[in-house]
Structure 1
Amino acid sequence: MLLEDEVALLRKLPLLSRVDPGRLKVLCFASDRESFAPGEVLFREGEASAGAYVILSGSVDVFKSVEDSHYTKTGSDAAVAIIGQSSMLNDTPRRATVTALTDVEVLRINSSCFMQLMTSCCKSSEGVIRSLGAQLGDADVAKKAMSSDR
């Protein structure tokens, strides 16, 4: 995959959609591409985080033991997914175990590289903050809807 293709995929992520394409090129260049076979663990709940994983292709199973819940995330040209973004942003342990369901290709974004990008460009930081604010608002609305259903 070409660098421009990776940048285009990252721009599909709400978290990075407002980041300058030039900055995203730097982030892609500093990130690692990794492949996982079905059944391989990308990371385990409770492990220290070193970054987020952008699923470029394939599907993963996400399991949270506290909630005893499973859900699937899929990456494709139409719907790129990111996992581990909260751990990347606040240096907390992984909140779930993620296992490859199919052959999976990811771009692993290093936390320190991401934070350097954010601190070096106010405009990129503003875009990420606005995206996080929107995600928090969406999560709050969903939480209220779930509690009113009970």
Structure 2
Amino acid sequence: MGIEDDIAILAAAPVFEAFGRDALRLLTFAAERRSLEPRETLFSRGDPADGGFVVLSGTIALAPRVAGGDTVLAGRSALIGRLALFVRGERPGDAAAQGAAEVTRITPTLMRRVLEEFPDAAAVIHDALADDLSALNQDFARVRAMLDAD
């Protein structure tokens, strides 16, 4: 896979879809690539969350966070660990390659560098996170209204 392919994959990933070409190029050059064998663990619950992953090829299986939940499959251009792009924490679940796979890891330090060098990208991220927070707040309001009705 060449640099243009990697840029196209990042451009299709959530969060990065509105980034300009130069910001995507910086991410592509500076991010860490990792190849995974079939069933190889990408990370385990409780591991340090020191960056997000974009799936370049293959499929990553994300184990359910709660007992009885469904496994989520993340394919090409999927973003795994969006919050870990910005802050360090703990992985909430397990992730492993279903077959051979390749991912790129983007650390909070790299994200900060890109956002400092490309303020337009920072504005896009800010707006997307604000929209997500607003939607979450509306969901909580609906739940509260349902609870109050009982």
- Category of TM-score, reference length = shorter chain: 0.7 to 0.9
The one of 106, 113, 117 aligned to 1:116: 113
Alignment RMSD (CA, Å):
2.3
Corresponding residue of 1:42? 42
Q: Which string of whole-angstrom CA distances, capped at 9 and with x for unpartnered residues, describes residues 117-146 of structure 1?
A: 112322110111222234445556677889
Corresponding residue of 1:32? 32
Structure with the larger strand share = 1
Deviates more, 1:67-76 or 1:92-101: 67-76
Against the structure 1 CA distance between its residues 12 and 138, is the aligned structure 2 distance closer, same or farther, given a 3 Å change threshold?
Answer: farther
Establish whether residue 132 from structure 1 lines up as the match of residue 129 from structure 2: yes
CA contact (8 A) 1:31 1:108 kept: yes
Which structure's CA Rg is the greater one? Answer: 2
For these two proteins, the number of residue pairs brought into alignment is: 144
Against the structure 1 CA distance between its residues 140 and 98, is the aligned structure 2 distance closer, same or farther, given a 3 Å change threshold?
Answer: farther
CA contact (8 A) 1:64 1:70 kept: yes
Establish whether residue 102 from structure 1 lines up as the match of residue 99 from structure 2: yes
Deviation at 1:98, TM superposition (A): 0.5
Following the alignment from structure 1 to structure 2, what is the Cα–Cα distance between the partners of residues 13 and 56? Answer: 10
Q: Secondary structure of the equivalent of 2:17?
A: coil
Following the alignment from structure 1 to structure 2, what is the Cα–Cα distance between the partners of residues 95 and 75? Answer: 19
Identity %: 24
Corresponding residue of 2:4? 4
TM-score (norm 1): 0.81
TM-score (norm 2): 0.81
Unmatched segments (≥5 aa) in structure 1: none
Q: Secondary structure of the equivalent of 1:90?
A: coil
The one of 85, 89, 92 aligned to 1:88: 85
Q: Secondary structure of the equivalent of 2:63?
A: strand
